[in-house]
Chain A
Amino acid sequence: MVQSEAAIEAYNAYWANSFIPGADIMWMVLILILAIIALWQARRFVSQF
């Protein structure tokens, strides 16, 4: 199934009022950065404890 026009419109509407430029992409970038930091901390934790 491909996304209907209404679904894409509703999806884009969520990011339309955002305070962050390119919010529809930036939320994923932010999650990836946080995930990498968490994995790095977990590796450090394993070596310390």
Chain B
Amino acid sequence: MDLKALKEQENKRRVSKGYMWALFCAVFWGIWYLPGTVIWVLNPFDEMFGAIAETNGDAISLVVTAALITAFNALTVMLALMLWNGVLQKFGELSRTLKEFNPCSKWFFLASIFGGPMAILGSFMAMGFIGGAFAAVAALLYPVIGSVLAYYWYGEKITKRAATGILVIILGGIVIFGGGLITELGTGEVPWIGYLGGLMAAIGWGIEGAIAGKGLDISEPDVGLTLRFLGENIIWWIIIVPILAIVGFPIYSFALQAFEPLTLLVLVFAGITFGFCYVSWYKSFPLIGVGRGQGIGNLYGFFAVIFIFLFFGDVPQWTILLGGALCILGSFVMFTEEAAEIETLRG
């Protein structure tokens, strides 16, 4: 076999592994909506929501409760990533990357700001105000933000096929948001804060992907993602949770009550699904690019609707199904691109 054929074979292997990791991301992200939804009815979060709502209203109560749930989610993700890095024997690499702040870890800490307080909190807000199926598909617009940023920032190639896929995803997003809004405008109840949460998720994850793509030029995805969650834990537990306590919310007292078997069990499974989803997402970026990785990762909306349907028995509205189908179609337009087209990811 000559050198050219070997190179082509290696490229095909790289691309197929990239799509495999993006698909893993989609499956884990979709199933995360099961623990991510049921955690709201468990104590202390259920009583916390009620207690804060009595004095500060439903909207503020929801955001504060979502902040504590997200903080715990970040903590259990960190545990799952320790397991992941342990199995892959990456602790040495983790400490090496952590020490190289300027070239490497600064990107992951920056990514944690957009991915954590913005995207994940936004997703919880969408879930709390509107519902799990809506939250799952609301953020589907994020590959548009991610790939446009990656293109303008560091020249990641966007082929016509990838752009077509992105366009179909935008159409799907419009159907999802528009359909839901028309239905709820008809009833006179529009939970704007839920839609704002969906928008925060789309913008936050898009920006995070582009920033991570930059950091992954010079570091490993497994350790890069762990540092990103180290950053998110710092943001929640050292900055946001203490601020919420200082302004008068009883957040520490409810946080201590979370150490209850069923609550911890659900949080651990949320951590495993979210941690493994995120690490698969980061692993796909250097192999197929941020735009494609996020595009295929977008199938999470489809998997979430399937898992919610199978385990909760919830039949989603037709607008969510139609919008989700368009987003999946857009993802497959990207998926069927020839491997030779993306031999080099940068233009």
A residues adjacent to B (C-beta < 8 A): 1-4, 6-7, 10-11, 14-20, 23, 26-28, 30-32, 34-35, 38-39, 41-43, 45-46, 48-49
Q: Is B312 an interface residue (CB 8 A)?
A: yes
Give the number of residue pairs across the A-B interface with Cβ within 8 Å.
Answer: 91
- The SS class assigned to the A binding surface is helix
Which residues from A are CB-within-8-Å of B84?
39, 42
Complex contacts, A6 vs chain B, CB 8 Å: 46
27 A-B pairs with CB atoms under 8 Å apart are: A1-B43, A1-B257, A2-B43, A3-B42, A3-B43, A3-B263, A4-B43, A4-B46, A7-B41, A7-B46, A10-B46, A11-B38, A17-B314, A18-B311, A18-B312, A23-B310, A23-B311, A26-B311, A27-B31, A27-B269, A34-B276, A39-B84, A41-B24, A42-B88, A42-B283, A46-B88, A48-B17
Chain B: interface residue total (CB-CB under 8 A): 40
**Chain A residue with Cβ nearest B266:** A11
Are the CB atoms of B42 and A14 closer together than 8 Å? no
Taking a contact as CB atoms under 8 Å apart, the answer to whether A45 and B42 are in contact is: no
Binding site for A on B (CB under 8 A): 13-14, 17, 20, 24, 27-28, 31, 34-35, 37-38, 41-44, 46-47, 84, 87-88, 222, 257, 260, 262-263, 265, 269, 272-273, 276, 280, 283, 307, 309-314
B272 interface neighbour in A7, A16, A35, Cβ under 8 Å: A35
A21 to B287, CA, bound (A): 39
The docked-state distance in angstroms from the alpha carbon of A17 to that of B257 is 29
Given the complex of chains A and B, what is the CA–CA distance between A37 and B273 in angstroms?
13
* Bound CA span A20–B44, Å: 28
Q: Quick check: A15 and B311 within 8 Å, CB to CB?
A: yes
Q: Would A14 and B312 be within 8 Å (CB), given that A4-B47, A28-B269, A43-B88 are in contact?
A: yes
CB of A38 within 8 A of CB of B28, answer yes
Cβ-defined contact, B312 with A7, below 8 A: no
What's the nearest-Cβ distance from chain B to residue A6, in Å?
A: 8
Find A45's partner among B17, B31, B37, B46 (CB 8 Å cutoff): B17
